[in-house]
Every structure is written in C-alpha cells, then in structure tokens.
Structure 1
Amino acid sequence: MLIPGQIISLATFPGVIVHEMAHQFFCRISRVAVFDVCYFRFANPCGYVVHEEPKKVYQHVLISIGPFIINTILGALIAMSAAIPVLRFNSGDFLDFFLIWLGISIAMHAFPSRGDANNIWELIKSNETNWLTKIICFPIVVLIYIGALGSVVWLDLLYGMAVALLIPNLLLKILA
C-alpha cells in the first residue's frame, strides 16, 4: 500500500529523478566517488545517492544543496515557455500544461532532505570546522530544515508553483 508521500513522489517522479541526478552531478564535479544511485523507487526514500565521505566542507555543501540549484533552474526553464501562453493569453494546449506540471514537479523536489541538513550540521558541530564556515553553513542548515518541515504544509508544492508560474509571470511584467 502506498503512503501519501509515496503517492506524491509517484505523481512528481521527474522531480525525484532530477533531485538524485543533481546530487550525483555535484558528487562528480566535487570529485567525490559515487558507489550507488537509485533515481526512483517505490520505497522510502524514493531515491538516493550513496557516495564516499567528502573530504572538504565545500564538497559537503555543494552535494547537499545541488538539488536546490539544479531543480530550481531546470523547473523554471521547462515551465517558462509553457507558462507564458497560459498566464499571458489564458490559453494553452496539452503540451503547455504538461510542461507546467513537469516544471512544478521538478521544482518542488528542489529542497534538500533532512539527511542533507544533518550532514552539514555534523560539519558545523565539528571542532575541525573553522568559525567562518560555521557562520556561513548555519543558515543553510536552518533553511534546509525549514524546507523539509514545510513539506508537511505543502511548502514544496508552493515553491514548485512559484518557480514554474510566478517567475515567468514576473518576467513578463518586467519585460512588458
């Protein structure tokens, strides 16, 4: 039997896949070995990337926030071409609505997980981490926890809709 989180992940599976690909991508550019990847499955978690322990703080941070960067940009770019005719002209065909769904589903999986926040938190608590890094990383951890907890009240969906619909609408108003 599927639980609500799994149903949402199934309905927005492209976002789960892009989320895990973003983790993997930032592992690769950070030169952190990847041992196993699951882009999507019907279990908890719905996807994962198993990698070696990063040796440097910037590697931890990039790998953890990678999905926020990639999913946000990709979700906005995919939805933008479709959102403009729908928002501007109140019209749209199946492809437009499909692209908007795709953009929302990708953007709503932008928030890093609590596991990602826990990884950065462990860095902050370490005596080996300097104070400047701790000061920079602390707000990142807080925002990740807020995003993870906010998913209970559909913050992830609201974020996805804002990225896919609000950003194109604002751009139209600026350019018009």
Structure 2
Amino acid sequence: MFIPGPVISAITFPGVIVHELAHQLFCRLYKVPVFKVVYFQFGNPAGYVLHEAPANKWQSIMISIGPFFLNTILGALIALPAALSTYNIDHSGFLEYLLMYLGVSIAMHAFPSTGDASSIWRALNDKDTNLFVKAVGFPIVGLIYLGAIGSFFWLDLLYGIGVAIELPKLIISHFV
C-alpha cells in the first residue's frame, strides 16, 4: 500500500518534531550556531534545521545522526508506561494507546533523512577529513540510504513498533 510521505509525516508529526529537536539539541551540544528551525510543516521536507557548518567533521556526523539516538530512546521511554498497562490488554485505556502512538511515531522518525546523509557526504569529501572519520562516516551514509529505501517498504514503521511496543514488552517480560 502506497501512502505519500507528507501524509505519513502529518499523521506522525510528533516524531518529525522530535527529529528536528534532536538536530537542534546536538547543534547546541557542540555549540554550532542554529539559524532557523522548522519543527513541522506540511510538505517536503516536513521539518529542518539550518545551522552553521561544524568545524569538526565528527560533530557534523553526530548532528546528522542525533535523531537516531534521541528518537529511539524517547520513543521507548514514552511507550514504556503504556506497555506496563497493556501487558494485560484488559487494563488498556485511551492514555495507554496515546502513549503507544507517541512512542511509535517518535521512534519511526529516528532514521536520518537523505538530506542528513548528503550533509555527512559533503563533510566526508572535504580534503581535510581524517581517515578514521571517513572510515566511520561512509558506511553511515550507506546505511542512511538503505533506511530510506527500506522506508518505502515500511521499515521505519516496523522500527517504531519494535522500539515502542516490542522492546518494552520484552523488557517487562523479563521482570514480570
């Protein structure tokens, strides 16, 4: 089933907002000036962060992949209380389903965009980028593009469900 990206972004807008917030947060962490942030808009891209180019190439990579860390962790943490309740489905209510929706929508936007991959690619192709950063960065770019292809086959949704629903259930099953 094909659903246009802007429709998915509109339905899962909390994930888009957290994705852009993660870019902004990593910019602040590395003291990289931010010029403009659009947390959500209808269209393509659904959000973006314009910032100064980091002086350090490693920082450029981390700013680009920051959403992977923040969205994954936040998606799992938000859904965890709902997973506690829904472990026994009879005790689920509106709040639990809302937390699951938020967790899945946030986690499914963890994958960096192809725009993020392009940013990393430009940093890596700079003549002063050291070999270690290139050795780490080029595979990251490849993984980002594979994730973009996978999102056509709902890989991002499957990731969101895995992080926000299955991972908390797995954790809970070990303690219950």
Provide structure 1 residue ranges, at least 5 long, that are not aligned to the other structure.
Answer: none
Looking at structure 2, the residues matched to 121 and 46 of structure 1 have their Cα atoms a distance apart, in angstroms, of: 21
Q: Give the 4+ runs in structure 1 shifted more than 3 A.
A: none
5 Å matches for 1:34-113?
A: 34-86=34-86, 88-91=87-90, 92-113=92-113
Q: How many angstroms does 1:127 deviate by?
A: 2.5
Q: How many angstroms does 1:90 deviate by?
A: 1.9
Question: What is residue 5 of structure 1 aligned with on the other side?
Answer: 5
Looking at structure 1, the residues matched to 128 and 140 of structure 2 have their Cα atoms a distance apart, in angstroms, of: 19
Looking at structure 1, the residues matched to 66 and 104 of structure 2 have their Cα atoms a distance apart, in angstroms, of: 17
Q: Sequence identity of aligned pairs in percent?
A: 56
In the alignment of these two chains, the number of paired residues is 173
Question: What is residue 174 of structure 1 aligned with on the other side?
Answer: 174
Looking at structure 2, the residues matched to 124 and 44 of structure 1 have their Cα atoms a distance apart, in angstroms, of: 25
Looking at structure 1, the residues matched to 8 and 112 of structure 2 have their Cα atoms a distance apart, in angstroms, of: 16
Residue 55 of structure 1 aligns to a residue in which SS? coil
Q: How many angstroms does 1:17 deviate by?
A: 0.5
Q: Give the CA RMSD over aligned residues.
A: 1.3
Aligned 8 A contact 2:71 2:109 in 1: yes
Question: What is residue 32 of structure 1 aligned with on the other side?
Answer: 32
TM-score, length basis structure 1: 0.93
5 Å matches for 1:110-149?
A: 110-149=110-149
Looking at structure 1, the residues matched to 167 and 98 of structure 2 have their Cα atoms a distance apart, in angstroms, of: 18
Question: What is residue 151 of structure 1 aligned with on the other side?
Answer: 151
Q: CA offsets per residue over residues 27-49 of structure 1, 9 Å max, x none?
A: 11111111111111112111111
Give yes or no for the alignment of 1:14 onto 2:17.
no
Q: How many angstroms does 1:138 deviate by?
A: 2.0
Question: What is residue 165 of structure 1 aligned with on the other side?
Answer: 165
